[in-house]
Structure formats: structure tokens, C-alpha cells
Amino acid sequence: MASSVKPFDASDPAFGHLDARSAAALLAAAGDIALVMDSSGVIRDVAVSGAEAQFADTNLWVGQPWVSTVGAEAKLKIELLLKEATVAGMSKRRQVNHISADGVDVPFSYMTLRLGRSGEIVAVGRDIRHVSALQQRLVEAQQSMERDYWRLRHVETRYRLLFQLASDGILVVDATTLKVLDANGAAGTVFDEPADRLIGRAFPFGVAPASMRAVETLLATARGAGRAGDITIAITGNDRGYHASASCFRQESATLILIRLSPTEAASPDATAGSPARLLDLIERSPDAFAVTDLDGIVLTGNRAFLDMTEMASQNQVRGQPIGTWIGRPGADFQVFLSMLKKNGAVRLIGTAARGTHGAQSEVEVSAVWVPEGEEPCIGFTLRDIGRRLANNPAGARDLTRAVEELTSLVGRVSLRDLVRDTVDLVERHFIEAALDLTNNNRTSAAEVLGVSRQSLYVKLRRHRLVSPGVDRDDDPVS
């Protein structure tokens, strides 16, 4: 077998009178560990350089076959190293893992050489832990990039689904050229053309001449202020009127305008600015999520922002579901809200978390009002996304600190026994979630990280509702 090592061109003058002691010192210095063996691979001597702490028992190797000092997975590599040295005089480098004194695998890169005619073999190894650490970091970085890639793919899929299912016409326009970059199917219906034929055209088009000036003002206001309110416009060839609004946003290095066209409804004689119908319309269009539940927390209705937060497409999908499915800890936070509402009639700016059906999460402030009287007693929830204004601290610590502060605010209104129980449950759930996230949701590894048995972890997962009912205990994801 050909060696990849290039020997010295003229070695006799330098090494011709090298004695045995100097040769041994040279071999020991060439690597971090050197083994002298007979032709059958039995270790006769060991030299260690800078690795005594890892291999305090190397003297015990003397008199043992080299293959007996490693695990089963490295035996074949050692046999190849010995065979190559016997046949060709020198082997290729191969990685062999030794078990250190504290039980940790330490990787070495070994090369073997045959000495003279007696058949003795020398193995010289280099400690390559730093190389393995770099390789591990590279693998972790690649896995992180792949997770981010698939997360972006899922987000894009949800965006396209919501974009196309929206009942209002939506156009995405370049703020500089006013060319349409994207349009949904409802926009094609508004202008009576296929949506793909709208892309690339300069907006406004298809607008009645009487509404053209109002649309131009709407776009100019959106570019200057970032958002422009509703105006009513007419579309050429369309008998219906439309509410038009525009929002300006940045994407990469470009400024874009999102234009929304929703059909106007027939106005009733009492549809004035202060009418209940107008108020309901404003709530429906509010950027803050709003939901109404019965006194047991079952959702009766929610506005568009609430549907966006829960990642649901229609009212029918959220109606009849517990609001705790998406807000706070399932089965826990709502009971806190309920006790505070019964006592005070309202709660204000309670920080908690919101979860979408497809996995999106956000930090929210919850305010609620209790209306127990009337034909249909109910609770109104207002939820404001505050994720963008949170301090740049670790998310897990921030969530845990805020939750404990919220429980602290209940002192005097809830018994100490209940407060301690809820705090312990909160901290326990937090660390279980952290362990699951650390182990990529591998429950067996998470149990080892937490120092509990698998059975104990499954009990806690079910108690905190972190596992779906009916999931087999052995259905851990493959790590």
C-alpha cells in the first residue's frame, strides 16, 4: 500500500549515526503517544507526551495486544494499521478512539511503521480532539441551518395558504415603481382578471376615474406615514364599491406596499360613525386580537387579528374551542384570569404566551372584562403582541421571570398554598420544556438530562399536558 508520507531525500548524513535512545526520543516527540509493539501487535513500551492526565493507566497496556486497549468499533482499524505496516512498511493515518481515565472517548490519529527486519512496529498517535470539536461544531451549525431552512419553508407555506384563502383582494406593490409583485385570487376577482396577469402591471389600474385621485393620495400617505386608512373606491366595470387600505413595510432592501380591497356592505340608515355596527367593524379591523368567550372560557367569536394569532382560517375553526388552547398554559392561566375577574371584574396587561395551531409563538399582554349579567354572560379578551418590544434577554428566563412576577401580584388574593403549588408547577414545566428543546424532543434523552426516570418524566408530561393523549411512551423521535 502506497504511503502518503514523503521521506527525506538524503537521510543517511543526518540519521546514519542515530542511536537507539535518540530514535526513541524522536518517535515519542513526533506525536502525543507512541507505542512500540512486536510483530504480532503486543505492546512492549509506551511513551506519552502531554496526555498523562488522560491516560494515567498506559503502563498497564504493556504486555497486552493493542486491540485490547480499545472498544469493539476500533479493533478493525488497528488490525488494518498493523497489516499495512507489516506489508508496506508504513500505514495510512486512521482515527482510533481511546477511553480516558474518566471514561471519555479521546480521538487519536495513528500511523504505524515497521522497524528493521525484526518486524517490530511503532504506532505514533496525535491527539485530534480539537479537530473533532471543530467537526462537531460544523455539524451542529449545518443542522441549525437546516432547521431554519425548513422553518422558513413552513412559514412560507402558511403565508401562501393564508394569502390565497383571504376573501379580500390583496396586492403587494413595489413602493418605488408601483409595479404589482404579488396578487391573490380575490384581487383577480376584483379586477375581473386572472391574478397572474396583474403581476408586473403598474398600480393603480382598473380604478374608476372618479376614485383615481383618492387612490394616489392613499399610496402617497402609505409611503410617508407607513399606513393609510380606509377609503371607498369604485372599480371600472364592477358595480360594487370597495374599501381600500394600504400598509408600507420593508423586505430585504426594498420598500413594499400591501394594498387591501374589501367589498363595502349596503349601508343602513343608522350606520353612522357612532353606531354599534360601526364599533363592531372597528373591532374586527383592530390590529390587536379580540375574542369573546363564555364564562367557562369557550370561544364564541374572535376578530381577524385573533384568527391570525391562532393561525386559523375561519370563525368556525375557533368557535367552541377553549381559549386556553392558544393562550397561556393549558388549563392553568385561564383559571387565574377567572379568579381575578370574579374578584375585580377586569384584569389589565397580564403578560403570557400565545401559541398558533401550526407552531408560531408570541409574547402577548392580556386584558379581560367580565360580563356575567345579560342574556348571554361572557368574557371579553384583548390580546396585544408585545414580542417586538421585549428586552433582548434569554427567552426562557424572561418568560419564567414574568410568570413568577404575575403570580407574585396575586399575593393577598390567592392562598399561599395555591401560590406555591402554581409556582412549583410553573418552574417544573419550564425546565421540562427546556430539556425537550435541548434534546430535540427526545424524551429518553430529556429524562437523562433532568436526572429522572422515563416513567417519572411521562407522568410529568401528562400532568403538564406536554404530550398528546394516547401517545405511546416509546414513540421518541429518532435522534
Rounded Cα–Cα distance for residues 474 and 216 (Å): 62
Q: Are 136 and 105 in contact (CB under 8 A)?
A: no
- Give mean pLDDT, residues 172-177: 87
Residue scoring higher pLDDT (27 or 457): 457
In the predicted structure, residue 268 carries a pLDDT above the cut 50: no
State residue 333's pLDDT score: 64
CB atoms under 10 Å from CB of 108, counted, come to 23
Cell numbers given for 314 = 375561519
**pLDDT confidence bin for 345, thresholds 50/70/90:** confident
CB-CB contact of 427 with 332 (8 Å): no
Between 126-135, 149-158, 406-415, 460-469, the lowest mean confidence (pLDDT) is in 406-415
Mean pLDDT of 194-203: 86
Q: Is the pLDDT of residue 388 over 80?
A: no
Predicted confidence at residue 248, as pLDDT, reads 85
Least confident of 58-62, 91-95, 111-115, 274-278: 274-278
pLDDT band at 181 (very low <50, low <70, confident <90, very high): confident
> Would you tell me the crossing angle of helices 395-408 and 416-438 to the nearest 10 degrees?
170
* CATH match for 269-388 among 2.40.50.140, 3.30.450.20, 3.20.20.110, 3.30.365.10: 3.30.450.20
As a whole number, the mean pLDDT across the chain is: 77
- Domain extents for the chain? 22-127, 130-160, 166-263, 269-388, 391-479
Sequence-separated (6 or more) residues with CB below 8 Å from residue 115: 121, 122
Q: What is the pLDDT of residues 2-23, one digit of tens each?
A: 445 565 555 555 555 555 565 6
* pTM listed for this prediction: 0.34
Region 166-174 average pLDDT = 83
Q: Considering the chain, what percentage of its residues have pLDDT values greater than 70? A: 78
Convert the pLDDT of each residue in 36-57 to its tens digit: 888 888 988 888 876 554 565 6
Across residues 173-188, what is the average pLDDT? Answer: 86
How far apart CA 347 and CA 332 sit, in angstroms, is 16
Q: Are 446 and 457 in contact (CB under 8 A)?
A: yes
Nearest to 49 by CA among 73, 70, 22, 28: 28
CATH superfamily of 166-263: PAS domain (3.30.450.20)
CATH of segment(s) 391-479: 1.10.10
Mean pLDDT value across residues 140-150: 82
The whole-number pLDDT of residue 369 equals 87
Long-range CB pairs of 85-93, under 8 A, 24+ apart, other chains included: 85/112, 85/113, 85/114, 85/121, 86/39, 86/114, 86/119, 86/121, 87/1, 88/1, 88/2, 88/3, 89/3, 89/113, 89/114, 90/3, 90/5, 90/114, 91/1, 91/3, 92/1, 92/3, 92/4, 93/4
Of residues 390 and 237, the one with the higher pLDDT is 237
- Is the confidence at residue 438, as pLDDT, over 50? yes
Amino acid sitting at position 5: V
Q: Is the peptide bond before 322 cis (omega within 30 degrees of 0)?
A: no
Whether residue 329 has pLDDT greater than 70: no
In this structure, of 162-176, 218-232, 255-269, 427-441, the range with the lowest mean pLDDT score is: 255-269
CA distance 364 to 277: 28
Query: What local confidence, expressed as pLDDT, does residue 272 receive?
Result: 45
Note the pLDDT of residue 113.
87
pLDDT in tens, 352-373: 788 888 777 788 888 888 887 7
pLDDT-derived band of residue 70, with 50, 70 and 90 as boundaries?
confident
Cβ(460)–Cβ(431) under 8 Å?
no
Does the pLDDT value for residue 288 go beyond 80?
Answer: yes
| pLDDT band of 410, cuts 50, 70, 90 | low
Whether 269-388 shares its CATH topology with 391-479 is answered no
pLDDT of 479: 40
Bridge partner residues of 301 (DSSP): 292
> What is residue 17's predicted lDDT score, i.e. its pLDDT?
57
Q: What is the band of 277 on the pLDDT scale with cuts at 50, 70, 90?
A: low
Q: Which of 138-142, 253-257, 272-276 has the lowest mean pLDDT?
A: 272-276
Fold of 22-127: Beta-Lactamase (3.30.450)
Q: What is the pLDDT of residue 276?
A: 63
C-alpha cell at 174: 413595489
Amino acid 409: pLDDT: 66
